[in-house]
Structure formats: structure tokens, C-alpha cells
Structure 1
Amino acid sequence: MVGLTAEQIREARTGRAADTKSDAILRLTTQVVEKRGFVSDADLTAARSAGVTDAEVTEIVANTALNLLTNYFNHVAETEIDFPLAEELQPEAACETGCSV
């Protein structure tokens, strides 16, 4: 509904993108979640070398925190999902870092 192709959606759900900067943003976001915010200087350097600005790093952290808060709140509240669930990804499309889908 936002103009993404099925492939772009699949890439985003697995933490990858064809565009270098978008890929760096997705990888940093994955690292923020997996490392619970304790990203390394090397993680930040890799993102910055792909063109990610400090303002965008701040946005990544803020949006990640907001999504986690929203998810946790909905788990506690047992919110009924009123939109179609995303299709389950095939194992070969799973994240390189072993994240669950």
C-alpha cells in the first residue's frame, strides 16, 4: 500500500535492501534490536560510511524503541489484530544473522 514491490517488502522484512543506504539503515536497525541498543563503534562507522547521518541514527533508535513499546503494549493488552497478517517467510529468506521471522 506504500508503493513497495513484493521483493522490497521481503527484503525489508529480512533486514536487507538493494539500495546501499537503505541496506545500512536496515542492518543498523537489526543490530539495535539484537544488541539491545549496545551497538559498536564499528556498527555506527559502517552505517555512516553508507551515508547514514547522526540525525538518521537518532531516528532509527527512536523508531525502534517506539515499535518495541507498541509491540509490548499490544502483547500485554492482547490487542486484536484487525489487519491481514504478513505471510510467513520461507526459511531461505531468513536474516543472515539468524533472526526469527
Structure 2
Amino acid sequence: MLYHLVMLEPDGPDAMPAIKEAMAILETLAPDLPGLKEFRHGPNRDFENKSERYPYGFLCTFTDKTALDTYAANPTHQRAGALLVASCKNGADGIFVVDLEV
């Protein structure tokens, strides 16, 4: 299994509507992509005070790297990704990604 964690640093409070729109777009992918088992998103509660820079994020669970690669190449994912890059501080630099294989 692969857990694809994406944390977002919005470019100010006005960026959240576009981030929410991207989340709505990504939610539509799970039923249609083989190997994408789960998509969840929400606010980062940062209980340990270590990641306040990233107040919002999402987590995808994939069966394997092939499923992650299929997701990455999907035009709907790319459209949502473009919205996120446009909405985050310094573009792609405001997006932190971890792919954890378990």
C-alpha cells in the first residue's frame, strides 16, 4: 500500500475556496480509478505544533505505485493540481508531498 499525503500552504485566506474546489474535483476520482482505495481531506489540527505552515491537506491510499502513477497522469487530477499550485504560497513550493509505502 502507498499513502500519498499532500499538505497545503494556502496563499492567504482567499485561497481556500479554490482549494475546496480542487478537493471536490479529486473526490470524483476515487470511484473511477483502479487502485485508488480512499481519498480524505481536511484541516491540519497540528496538535504537536510542528506543521502550522500547512493548515490543510489530503490523503490518498493506493494499492501500489502503478495506481499512483495512473492517478498522477489523470487529466482530472492534473486540473485539480493546477488549482492547488495556483492557490498555494509560492506555487508548487507551498505543497508538501509524502509517499509512504507500508
Say which structure is richer in strand: 2
For normalisation by structure 2, the TM-score amounts to 0.25
Which gives a bigger RCO, structure 1 or 2 (Cα 8 Å, sep 6+)? 2
For normalisation by structure 1, the TM-score amounts to 0.25
Say which structure is richer in helix: 1
